[in-house]
Structure 1
Amino acid sequence: MRTILALVDGSLYAGSVCDLAAWAAARTASTVTLLHVLGRRETATTPIDLSGSLRADAREALLAELAANDESRARLAQKRGRLLLDDARARIEKAAAATGVEAKLRHGDLLDAVAELEPEAALVVVGKRGEAADFAKGHLGSNLERIVRASTRPVLVAARAFRPIAKVVLAYDASPSAERALDLASHDPMTNGLAVEVITVGDGEAARTRVEAAAERLRAAGRAATGRVVAGEPEEAIGAAVEASEADLLVMGAFGHGRLRALVVGSTTTAMVRRCRIPVLMVR
């Protein structure tokens, strides 16, 4: 059975991650694997040596107290992790009663834990920012960027709040990752029955031909699809078009053509995740 891997923490995005994973699971008859990872700082039991030049008996007492505090902190972190997973499981089961939900608590590096579980998953769901991220405008969580770089599966990025999804915008530039995004929008049960608008940036006949060919492929697969050409710089033009369309989900390739490949994650993709207040599905 298809599985969705949902990454949860204590951030403001955790509830939306659960709701989005439940939505995707219900549409695709998938189970959900919830993952919470305790970092090394949270589980370290080797105390930091703060004893300095203290006399021997005082040093021993201080180190013993530090060790006890570290062990207590590790226990509390594990307890908190289990509670986060329990809450997430309950939320998903309530939203999608027929969905099987498995919870996993791991220690160490997030990417290592994702790499362990990802081969069994068809989709990874993650929040735009984690609980340790700076919430300044335009800042993305570092773990999100690491996951997108490393993941071999489509990554669905949750916005701050979830809302029912009825309309999809597909940003299309005919790059290899955009072609795979088009294939997903055409055939994945997650998008079945949703209205899809294909947007491409450009001008002239070539752009119109490109977007109409993509829309026709969607229609041939049974999707209700339209196409639109917008002018301007990709980051601004696509963002404005998404906002004007009142779409509920943006689907796009993680990489683009030419200068858009300047970053490991395409610059247009990164800009869209920063700007959009709707979920973004990135396809490698």
Structure 2
Amino acid sequence: MTDQVMAAIDGSQFSTGVCDYATWASLALGAPRNLPARGGHPPQIAEADLSGNIGLGSREHLLEELSQLDEQRAKVAQEQGRLMLQAARERAIEDGVAEPASRQRNGTLVETLDELQNEIRLLVGSTTTAMLRKSRVPILLLR
């Protein structure tokens, strides 16, 4: 689907406004509305390098635990993204968008923009730096 109004939501305090403005733009332009949300890559948390402090045999166990923790974080982020998209879709329908499309995307906003660049007529979002650097389409930014 080309020439879409894309609402880039990320669960921040601006996501509701992004959804509302994307709905407005979609109706004003007569363009389909799509909602890509980030999910699957939880925020990175700085972890201390304890490699010099770990006793022999403990390292493998700790690495396994860290791997399981990363997997749990990814599952939580995926579910959070799914719920975020569901709420945004319901809001769009209430506001008059007949069939808003939605896609849950893994990775960063920049990666998503790069992949979907040819489908976007207008991008609505609140993450300015990344969007401005990567986008070749018009952007409606919220403040």
Q: TM-score range by the shorter chain?
A: 0.7 to 0.9
In the alignment, which residue of structure 1 is the partner of 2:138? 154
In the alignment, which residue of structure 1 is the partner of 2:95? 95
1:58 corresponds to 2:27: no
Contact 2:113 2:134 in 1 (8 A): no
1:105 corresponds to 2:104: yes
Unaligned runs of 5+ in 2: none
1:24 corresponds to 2:33: no
Shift of 1:61: 2.2
Query: SS in structure 2 opposite 1:96?
Result: coil
| Count of residues in Structure 1 that have an aligned counterpart in Structure 2 | 140
Shift of 1:59: 2.2
The whole-number CA distance in structure 2 between the counterparts of 1:147 and 1:110 is 8
The whole-number CA distance in structure 2 between the counterparts of 1:75 and 1:53 is 30
In the alignment, which residue of structure 2 is the partner of 1:5? 6
The whole-number CA distance in structure 1 between the counterparts of 2:78 and 2:68 is 16
State the Cα deviation string for residues 46-83 of structure 1 (Å, max 9, x = none). Answer: x9863434222322222222111111111111111111
Q: Relative contact order (C-alpha < 8 Å, sep 6+): which is higher?
A: 2
State the Cα deviation string for residues 179-204 of structure 1 (Å, max 9, x = none). Answer: xxxxxxxxxxxxxxxxxxxxxxxxxx
Contact 2:40 2:74 in 1 (8 A): no
The share of aligned pairs that are identical, in percent, is 34
The whole-number CA distance in structure 2 between the counterparts of 1:58 and 1:35 is 41
Alignment TM-score, normalising by the size of structure 1: 0.45
Taking structure 1 as reference, are residues 48 and 102 closer, same or farther at Cα in structure 2, changes over 3 Å only? farther
The whole-number CA distance in structure 2 between the counterparts of 1:83 and 1:26 is 24
1:145 corresponds to 2:129: yes
Shift of 1:109: 2.9
The whole-number CA distance in structure 2 between the counterparts of 1:77 and 1:26 is 30
Query: SS in structure 1 opposite 2:62?
Result: helix
Q: Summarize the alignment of residues 168-183 of structure 1 with structure 2, pairs less than 5 Å apart.
A: none
What amino acid sits opposite 1:121 in the alignment?
Answer: I
The structure with the larger Rg is 1
Contact 2:37 2:81 in 1 (8 A): yes
Alignment RMSD (CA, Å)? 2.4
What amino acid sits opposite 2:38 in the alignment?
Answer: V
Unaligned runs of 5+ in 1: 128-142, 160-284
Query: SS in structure 1 opposite 2:37?
Result: strand
Moved over 6 A (4+): none
Alignment TM-score, normalising by the size of structure 2: 0.84
1:35 corresponds to 2:19: no
The whole-number CA distance in structure 2 between the counterparts of 1:92 and 1:114 is 21
Contact 2:35 2:100 in 1 (8 A): yes
